[in-house]
């Protein structure tokens, strides 16, 4: 397992409020990692920094085998480098069909002229079918994404990540709004995806995290409070005080 992403000494403040405070973090490839932490701990902001949405005030974010910096790259460049993201609130293109949503995410050249003259291929269609099958949306392919239930939108977004075929997946609260059966399916899928790539899952639900059965990082007030197995971190007194004890 080699290091895929390394953050060190990263800080971000919004109007003087330190949302991320001297945060250091590492993930290898392949690896599955869960991030937990109370509301406002900075979990989403952490993802914003990696994906280029928020520029850190200080610190380094290094990516890939050569350890090139991600800072200063645009969101789209970072996405093309192989980092996919699922948002906390499901964001799919509701006016478009499930098929169109997946097709847009499909790993292909992203330049305007490549896209303009893009020809639908049998291979692409097969890939869309495969992704849809994986996330259980085969029936829904021709339906507008706006008609899907909340849980299915979450699935679609995960499917779009699959189609993107990234090396690092950042998944923000995937289980929100899902039924217990759907949650179980989600954990299986995330675990499977983590066999070949790095997957970071932010989740509040302890049961969900336990089922992921992976290393856990606890964030609090913008920095790492504890890291290790779930049993290890839940036994930590600091973690109990700020998170579990409430």
Partner 1 sequence: MKPGFLSQNPSVLWFLAALGLFTLGVTVLAEATGTGALSTSFVKTLGKTLCLCLIAIAMDVVWGYCGILSLGHFAFFGIGGYAIGMWLMYARTEAIVSESMAAAVIPPTDQEVIDAIGTQIFGVVGSSEFPVIWAFSDSLFLQLLMVVLIPGLLALVFGWLAFRSRVTGVYLSILTQAMTLALSLYLFQNDSGLRGNNGLSGLQNIPGFEDTPQSMISIAFFWASALALGLGYLLFAFVTSGKMGSVIRGIRDDEARVRFLGYHVESYKLFVFTLTAVIAGIAGALYYPQAGIINPAEIAPIASIYLAVWVAIGGRGRLYGAVIGAAFVSLLSSWFTGGGAPNVNLGVYTIQWTDWWLVLLGLSFVAVTLFAPKGIGGLFDAIAVRRTPERVGDYGPDKGALRQEEGTE
Ligand X SMILES: Nc1ncnc2c1ncn2[C@@H]1O[C@H](COP(=O)(O)OP(=O)(O)OP(=O)(O)O)[C@@H](O)[C@H]1O
Residues that bind partner 1 (CB under 8 A): 51, 53, 74-77, 79-80, 84-85, 87, 91, 93-97, 100, 103-105, 110-112, 115-116, 118-120, 144-147, 160, 164
Query: How many whole angstroms separate alpha carbon 188 and alpha carbon 171?
Result: 14
Could you tell me which residues are beta bridge partners of residue 216?
34, 228
Query: How many whole angstroms separate alpha carbon 102 and alpha carbon 106?
Result: 6
Which range, of 43-51, 116-124, 142-150, 224-232, touches ligand X by CB under 6 A? Answer: 43-51
What, of ligand X, Mg ion, partner 1, none, does residue 93 touch, CB below 5 to 8 Å by kind? partner 1
Residue 44 within binding range of Mg ion, rule CB under 5 A: yes
Report, in Å, the least distance between residue 151 CB and ligand X. Answer: 19
- Cα atoms found within 13 Å of the Cα of residue 17, Cβ hemisphere only: 8
- Chain positions 64 to 103 lying near ligand X, rule: CB under 6 A, are 88
Residue 51 within binding range of Mg ion, rule CB under 5 A: no
Residue 220 within binding range of ligand X, rule CB under 6 A: no
Residue 40 within binding range of ligand X, rule CB under 6 A: yes
Residue 42 within binding range of ligand X, rule CB under 6 A: yes
For residue 197, say if its preceding peptide bond is cis, omega within 30 degrees of 0: no
Are the C-beta atoms of residues 90 and 172 closer than 8 Å to each other? no
Residue 14 within binding range of ligand X, rule CB under 6 A: yes
Query: How many whole angstroms separate alpha carbon 222 and alpha carbon 228?
Result: 18
Which range, of 33-41, 89-97, 111-119, 125-133, touches ligand X by CB under 6 A? Answer: 33-41
Which range, of 3-11, 41-49, 65-73, 235-243, touches ligand X by CB under 6 A? Answer: 41-49
Query: How many whole angstroms separate alpha carbon 56 and alpha carbon 130?
Result: 38
CA dihedral of 203, 208, 214, 216, whole degrees rounded to 10: 40
Query: How many whole angstroms separate alpha carbon 203 and alpha carbon 188?
Result: 15
Query: How many whole angstroms separate alpha carbon 176 and alpha carbon 182?
Result: 10
Report, in Å, the least distance between residue 2 CB and ligand X. Answer: 28
Q: Which residues bind ligand X (CB under 6 A)?
A: 14, 19, 37, 39-45, 88
């Amino acid at each position: 397992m080699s290091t895929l992403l390394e953050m060190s000494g990263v800080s971000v403040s919004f109007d003087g409020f330190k949302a991320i405070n001297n945060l250091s973090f590492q993930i290898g490839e392949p690896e599955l990692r869960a991030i937990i932490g109370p509301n406002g701990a900075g979990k989403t902001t952490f993802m914003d920094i990696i994906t280029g949405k928020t520029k850190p005030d200080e610190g380094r974010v290094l990516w890939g085998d050569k350890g090139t910096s991600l800072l200063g790259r645009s969101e789209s460049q970072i996405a093309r480098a192989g980092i996919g993201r699922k948002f906390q609130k499901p964001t799919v293109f509701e006016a478009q069909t499930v098929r169109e949503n997946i097709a847009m995410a499909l790993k292909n050249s992203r330049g305007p002229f490549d896209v303009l003259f893009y020809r639908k291929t049998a291979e692409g269609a097969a890939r869309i079918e495969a992704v849809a099958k994986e996330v259980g949306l085969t029936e829904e392919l021709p339906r507008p994404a706006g008609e899907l239930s909340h849980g299915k939108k979450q699935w679609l977004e995960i499917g779009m990540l699959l189609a993107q075929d990234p090396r690092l997946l950042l998944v923000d609260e995937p289980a929100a709004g899902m039924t217990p059966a759907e949650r179980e399916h989600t954990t299986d899928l995330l675990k499977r995806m983590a066999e070949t790539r790095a997957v970071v899952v932010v989740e509040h639900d302890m049961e969900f995290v336990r089922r992921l059965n992976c290393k856990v990082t606890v964030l609090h007030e913008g920095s790492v409070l504890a890291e290790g197995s779930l049993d290890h971190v839940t036994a930590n007194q600091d973690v109990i005080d700020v998170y579990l004890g409430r």
